[in-house]
């Protein structure tokens, strides 16, 4: 494989779901810059692959990712961070296709931030989420203070960020951080099933819908509604909208062409 720190494959009955496994179990899949660069590359490859409907990202072993590679970070300086690549790997993460994080164990620090970058988080009952950076004199630096607040609110985020304490899967579900909690043994199959369910819809409409939901995190309600209205109108320019409506009226399954 061209990858050293991750394992990449296509899965699902129609092989239309991309799978990225973080594969440094001996260090709990610590997010070294080498591993992050590979994740960025794999996501870009799946994004550019017309046959892929959605991507699942998970961890090998008992962690999703237990944070940044502290050994690597210890050597860093303020100047090095300003000019260096560590943050830029997170900033370079890009997926126009839905990304599903299947969180199998610890998602701490950068691991929690990577999970929150995904569009949907499905958690194993063994999953644990936390931003423990404060315990080593840091704050979350790849979205933790921002995405977590948007997901679970200010009070809960402050408690997690200021104490560094983690929460379990059930609590993560209760506060809205994850979509659902599933038994550990069915985590991957559930995540892949979700990718396949997305894959039964028009790829172009899925991309438009994802963009609409993403916009809600960036804007006021009024701007968001205006964006949604424009994107809703856009769907009327697609062949798939014509096909979807015709199939509904004719009581048959739609044959989407992704146009």
The question of whether 60 is a catalytic residue gets the answer no
Rounded Cα gap, residues 77 and 46, in angstroms = 34
CB 130 within 8 A of CB 167: yes
CA proximity to 5, closest of 42, 46, 50: 42
The question of whether 159 is a catalytic residue gets the answer no
Identified catalytic residue from 42, 65, 68, 127: 68
The question of whether 68 is a catalytic residue gets the answer yes
Following DSSP, what letter does each residue of 10-55 receive, concatenated?
Answer: EESTTS-EEEEEE--GGGTT-B-HHHHHHHHHHHHHHHT-TT--EE
Distances (CA, A) of 5 to 21, 27, 76: 9, 11, 21
Identified catalytic residue from 38, 113, 173, 190: 113
Does an H or E element contain 168, and which? strand 167-168
The secondary structure of residue 237, as a DSSP letter, is T
The question of whether 113 is a catalytic residue gets the answer yes
Identified catalytic residue from 110, 130, 144, 244: 110
Q: What tokens appear for 181 in the block?
A: 């909690």
Identified catalytic residue from 38, 42, 59, 133: 133
Q: How distant is the alpha carbon of residue 244 from its chain centre?
A: 28
Q: What tokens appear for 214 in the block?
A: 């993403």
The secondary structure of residue 143, as a DSSP letter, is S
For helices 144-152 and 110-117, angle between their N-to-C axes, nearest 10 degrees: 60
Q: Annotated active-site positions, please?
A: 68, 110, 113, 133
């Amino acid at each position: 494989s061209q990858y050293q720190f991750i394992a990449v494959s296509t899965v699902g009955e129609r092989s239309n779901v991309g799978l990225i496994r973080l594969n440094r179990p001996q260090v709990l899949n610590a997010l070294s810059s080498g591993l992050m660069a590979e994740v960025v590359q794999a996501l870009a490859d799946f994004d550019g692959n017309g046959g892929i409907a959605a991507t699942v990202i998970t961890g090998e072993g008992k962690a999703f990712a237990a944070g940044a590679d502290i050994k690597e970070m210890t050597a860093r300086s303020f100047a090095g961070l300003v000019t260096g690549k560590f943050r830029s790997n997170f900033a370079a993460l890009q997926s126009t296709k839905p990304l599903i994080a299947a969180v199998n164990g610890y998602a701490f620090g950068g691991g929690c931030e990577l999970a929150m970058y995904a569009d949907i988080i499905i958690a194993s009952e063994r999953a644990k989420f936390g931003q423990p950076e404060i315990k080593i004199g840091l704050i979350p630096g790849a979205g933790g203070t921002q995405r977590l607040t948007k997901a679970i609110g200010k009070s809960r985020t402050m408690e997690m960020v200021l104490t560094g304490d983690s929460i379990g899967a059930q609590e993560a579900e209760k506060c809205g951080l994850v979509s659902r909690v599933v038994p550990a043994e069915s985590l991957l199959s559930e995540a892949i099933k979700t990718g396949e369910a997305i894959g039964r819809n028009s790829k172009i409409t899925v991309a438009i819908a994802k963009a609409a939901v993403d916009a809600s995190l960036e804007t006021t309600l009024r701007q968001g509604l205006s964006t949604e209205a424009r994107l809703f109108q856009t769907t009327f320019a697609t062949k798939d909208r014509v096909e979807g409506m015709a199939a509904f009226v004719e009581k048959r399954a739609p044959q989407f062409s992704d146009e």
